[in-house]
Amino acid sequence: MHVDKQDVLKRIHYIEGHLGGIRRMREEDATCIDVLRQTYAVRKAIEKLEALLVENHLASCVHQAIMSGEEESLLAELAQFYRLGGND
């Protein structure tokens, strides 16, 4: 699987749009529940973006590292990724 750069940028633009909407909602004194709905949408959009990037990384970079015998650096990278996820 190869992630299209434009798809990633489109998803980021979508997230940025939602964040701007949240700012406007607060400026216009929108209800807390309406703002929370939007923050939930942003969180889900970020999760989808992350899943897309991880899938691409596993299918391309990890595969390439295994094929070229770079298991040590791959393991270090995966450990770093694991810690990044809050799994110390």
Q: Which domain holds residue 16?
A: 5-84
pLDDT in the model for residue 27: 96
The CATH number that applies at residue 45 is 1.20.58.1000
Residue 80 and residue 87 in contact, taking contact as beta carbons nearer than 8 Å? no
- What is the domain count for the chain? 1
Quick: pLDDT tens for 26-70. Answer: 999 999 999 999 999 999 999 999 988 888 888 888 878 888 888
Rounded Cα distance, 54 and 3, in Å: 10
pLDDT in the model for residue 2: 64
pLDDT higher than 80, residue 80: yes
pTM for the whole structure:
0.75
User: Which stretch of 9-13, 21-25, 30-34, 84-88 has the lowest confidence by average pLDDT?
Assistant: 84-88
